[in-house]
């Protein structure tokens, strides 16, 4: 009987020996006393000993922290635990070998290096931690749409529990109504990156799904990131409402300012839509220090708009200095603008003179009729605009100034630039903010309010109480007003002063208002010498009108009033036609 048992034990050891050799793990066979009887090559290498040296050794001498295994051996029970040897993680499993009537033959000890698995677990934990710190929702599936993981933000946004959805296919989740649509399904369908808006419970999220491909070009993973834009939409709507209210308040402020200007001065009327746009632009510009170029025909109110900008700017408490570039002779214009040092030229004041640019420091300099400025002075003005410095006439010291420049003109500056009569660089420096004032004939809604304001103004001035009849109003509304507001103002004063009755009727209006000739002198006739080109004929008619008007009026101001143009225009035209101005 003992011989049979011996043969059986020998057979068992042979089988175990072959199993040990084939195993990829480190395997040790120990007997019931804890003595190593068999060991494979991997275990010997792990323990740093030869196989024949290990046989007969006690297991607790070979492996630290093995007390539990010894206890398991004695108790004939299985055991599994993790140990660390030289910073390497191992999974140790012990299975007792029991034969017959609970005969204890010892056991099998298997050690497996699980360091790679541990590193993977750590990497997964780190990935989960990173995903959970993201404020964006993250939803990851495999290439079939099965949910692999979601982060904490996804749970907060959607209410989905990780334990519930992991393992579920996105199709099933959509079918349950948790999403109205899925970026993952769109990615799987199109095999490309997609972005959608998704409704989740009471939230709105923008979701971007991105496919990840394996080496064969098949979708391996789908990563969807979602951002909750519910608050963003609410903020956007709130911002749009605030912007709407701001625009509304601003419009009301503009209207209030316009009414204040009308009541306070009587010469700034913005009843027409065209003029209201001018006022709105002027108010926006007033809050800045940008250079402004005001354009428009003579008499439209360029200076009024300029003063409006100054009064509504941060410079309103400082000086507003104006110079008319057409009204001052060229040899005096430079000294008026820039000033001069003592003894700079013959006739100069002994103490010198401070120019308008220096006087306008911290305030506004208004350059009227800028198109008439000589080219030599244009270069000096350009330096003031660009460098905010200038030199007095005869001076060598640069003077710094802090001024805002507003220019005005009724001329075609672009054409003057082409004709080399105006510097192109200066034009662009001045034309930063262009404001064009429409002529009175294009804003007839302003005529009646202007008539009322001027009538009130001159009634008070001359202590009268004149009124204008409806019929007279009709004539005045039909008139084209080539001299614009200046012509209208002059006519109202004329009517108030010379009309004998208290009610101004059509018969009191000048003849040209009734589409009759406007005789400067009824004996004068404008003629054209023979058949000439149209430009030549126009120039000849203009020449005769200006010369005849000046001959009758004897001064440029009355001539301008008669012709309905500005006084600088009269000066320029008379110079052109070689008339000596007395």
Element housing 180 (H / E): none
In contact, 499 and 462? CB cutoff 8 Å: no
A 10 A CB-CB count for 224 gives: 25
The model's confidence at residue 174, banded by pLDDT at 50, 70 and 90, is confident
Residue 449 CA to chain centroid, in angstroms?
Answer: 40
Q: What was the pLDDT predicted at 378?
A: 94
Tell me the C-alpha distance between 482 and 490, whole Å.
13
Q: Which of 249-263, 264-278, 282-296 has the lowest mean pLDDT?
A: 249-263
What percent of the chain shows pLDDT beyond 90? 29
Look at the block and give the residue holding tokens 């000993």.
49
Say what the pLDDT of residue 579 is.
60
Structural tokens at position 548: 């005849």
**Cβ atoms of 36 and 62 closer than 8 Å:** yes
pLDDT for 31? 82
**Angle, helix 534-553 to helix 567-576, in steps of 10 degrees:** 110
Interval 84-111: pLDDT, tens? 777 788 888 888 877 666 666 778 888 8
CA distances from 136 to 127, 139, 160, 197, 311 (A): 15, 10, 15, 14, 52
Please state the pTM of the whole predicted model.
0.48
pLDDT band at residue 517 under the 50/70/90 scheme: very low
**Residue 501, H or E segment:** none
Cα angle 229-235-240, degrees, rounded to a multiple of 5: 125
- What average pLDDT does the chain have? 81
Q: Which of 117-131, 153-167, 414-428 has the highest mean pLDDT?
A: 414-428
- Does 389 have pLDDT greater than 50? yes
The domains located in the chain, with CATH, are: 2-113 (3.30.450.20), 125-228 (3.30.450.20), 266-438 (3.40.50.300), 441-514 (1.10.8.60), 519-582 (1.10.10)
* pLDDT tens digit sequence for 501-511: 889 998 999 88
Mean pLDDT (whole number) for 108-136: 77
Summarize pLDDT for 467-486 with one digit per residue, the tens. Answer: 988 888 888 888 889 999 99
* Best CA proximity match to 506, nearest among 471, 538, 532: 471
Average pLDDT over residues 529-540: 69
Share of the chain above pLDDT 70, in %: 80
Instruction: Examine the pLDDT at 165 and tell me if it is beyond 70.
Output: yes
pLDDT band at 519 (very low <50, low <70, confident <90, very high): very low
More confident residue, 360 or 512: 360
CB atoms within 10 A of CB 56: 9
Most confident of 38-42, 120-124, 324-328, 429-433: 429-433
Q: C-alpha distances in angstroms, 464 versus 200, 264, 471, 497? A: 78, 20, 21, 9
Return all residues near 270 (Cβ < 8 A) that are at least 6 apart: 258, 261, 262, 276, 278, 279, 446
- pLDDT value of position 268: 67
pLDDT, tens only, 206-265:
888 899 998 888 998 998 888 777 767 677 777 776 666 665 655 555 455 555 544 444
Task: Give how far Cα 338 sits from Cα of 341, 342, 387, Å.
Answer: 10, 13, 15
For residues 312-347, b (16+ Cβ closer than 10 Å) or e, as one string?
A: bbebeebebbbbbbbbbeeeebbbbbbbbbeebeee
CA 246 distance to own-chain centroid: 17
Question: Which H helix or E strand runs over 399?
Answer: strand 399-400
Roughly how many angstroms between the first and final C-alpha of the chain, as a whole number? 157
Classify the C-alpha dihedral 359-364-369-370 as positive or negative: positive
DSSP letters along 69-106, please? HHHHHHHT--EEEEEEETTEEEEEEEEEEEETTTEEEE
More confidently predicted of 157 and 469: 469
Whole-number Cα distances in Å, 182 to 14, 199, 213, 278, 367: 60, 10, 19, 53, 66
- The three-state (H, E, C) secondary structure of 187-230, written as one string: HHHHCCCEEEEEEECCEEEEEEEEEEECCCCCEEEEEEEEEECH
Instruction: With cut-offs at 50, 70 and 90, classify the pLDDT of residue 578.
Output: low
Element (H, E) at 571: helix 567-576
Residue 246 has a pLDDT of 63
Find where tokens 């008669």 sit.
562
Half-sphere exposure (Cβ direction) of 219: Cα atoms closer than 13 Å: 23
Confidence band for 300, pLDDT divided at 50, 70 and 90: very high
pLDDT single digits (tens) 181-206: 788 888 898 889 998 887 766 677 88
Strand runs labelled E in 254-378? 292-295, 320-324, 339-340, 353-354, 364-368
Q: Is 443 exposed, middle or buried (0-12, 13-18, 19+ CB in 10 A)?
A: buried
Residue 220 tokens, joined: 């391996």
Query: Burial, 488: exposed, middle or buried (Cβ in 10 Å; 0-12, 13-18, 19+)?
Result: buried
């Amino acid at each position: 009987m003992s011989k049979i048992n011996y043969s059986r034990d020998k057979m068992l050891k042979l089988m175990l020996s072959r199993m040990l050799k084939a195993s990829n793990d480190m395997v040790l066979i120990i007997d019931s006393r804890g003595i190593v009887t068999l060991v494979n090559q991997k275990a010997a290498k792990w323990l740093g000993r030869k196989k024949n040296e290990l046989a007969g050794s006690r297991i607790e001498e070979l492996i630290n922290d093995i007390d539990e295994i010894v206890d398991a051996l004695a108790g004939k029970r299985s055991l599994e635990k993790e140990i660390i040897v030289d910073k390497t993680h191992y999974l140790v499993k012990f299975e007792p070998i029991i034969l017959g009537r609970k005969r204890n033959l010892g056991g099998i000890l298997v050690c497996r290096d699980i360091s790679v698995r541990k590193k993977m677990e750590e990497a997964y934990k780190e990935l989960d931690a990173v995903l959970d710190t993201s404020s964006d929702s993250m939803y990851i599936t495999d290439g079939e749409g099965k949910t692999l993981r979601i982060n904490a933000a996804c749970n907060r946004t959607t209410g989905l529990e990780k334990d519930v959805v992991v393992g579920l296919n996105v199709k099933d989740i959509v079918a349950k109504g948790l999403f109205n649509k899925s970026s993952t399904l769109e990615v799987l369908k199109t095999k490309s990156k997609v972005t959608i808006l998704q409704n989740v419970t009471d939230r709105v999220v923008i979701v971007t799904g991105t496919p990840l491909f394996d080496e064969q070009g098949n979708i391996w993973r789908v990563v969807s990131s979602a951002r909750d834009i519910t608050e963003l939409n609410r903020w956007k709507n709130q911002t749009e409402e605030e912007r709407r209210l701001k625009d509304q308040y601003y419009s009301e402020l503009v209207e209030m300012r316009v009414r204040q200007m009308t009541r306070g001065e009587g010469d700034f009327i913005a009843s027409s839509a065209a003029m209201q746009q001018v006022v709105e632009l002027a108010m926006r510009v007033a809050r800045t220090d940008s250079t402004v170029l005001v354009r428009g025909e003579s008499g439209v109110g360029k200076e009024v708009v300029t003063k409006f900008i100054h009064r509504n700017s941060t410079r309103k408490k400082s000086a507003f200095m104006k110079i008319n570039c057409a009204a001052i002779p060229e040899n005096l214009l430079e000294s008026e603008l820039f000033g001069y040092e003592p003894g700079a030229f013959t006739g100069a004041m002994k103490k010198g003179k401070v120019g308008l640019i220096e006087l306008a420091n911290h305030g506004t300099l208004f350059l009227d009729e800028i198109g008439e400025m000589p080219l030599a002075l244009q270069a000096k003005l350009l330096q003031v605009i660009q460098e905010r410095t200038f030199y007095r006439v005869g001076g060598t010291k640069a003077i710094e100034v802090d001024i805002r420049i507003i220019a005005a003109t009724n001329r075609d500056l672009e054409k003057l630039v082409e004709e080399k009569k105006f510097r192109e660089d200066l034009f662009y420096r001045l034309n930063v903010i262009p404001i064009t004032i429409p002529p009175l004939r294009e804003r007839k809604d302003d005529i009646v309010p202007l008539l009322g304001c001027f009538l009130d103004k001159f009634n008070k001035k001359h202590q009268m109480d004149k009124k204008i009849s409806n019929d007279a109003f009709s004539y005045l509304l039909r008139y084209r007003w080539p001299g614009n507001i200046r012509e209208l103002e002059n006519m109202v004063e004329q009517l108030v002063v010379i009309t004998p009755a208290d009610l101004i009727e059509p018969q009191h209006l000048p003849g040209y208002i009734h589409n009759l000739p406007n005789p400067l002198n009824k004996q004068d006739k404008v003629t054209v010498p023979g058949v000439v080109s149209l430009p030549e004929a126009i120039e000849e008619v203009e020449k005769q009108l200006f010369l005849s008007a000046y001959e009758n009026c004897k001064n440029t101001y009355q001539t301008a009033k008669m012709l309905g143009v500005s006084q600088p225009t009269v000066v320029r035209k008379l110079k052109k036609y070689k008339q000596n101005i007395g």
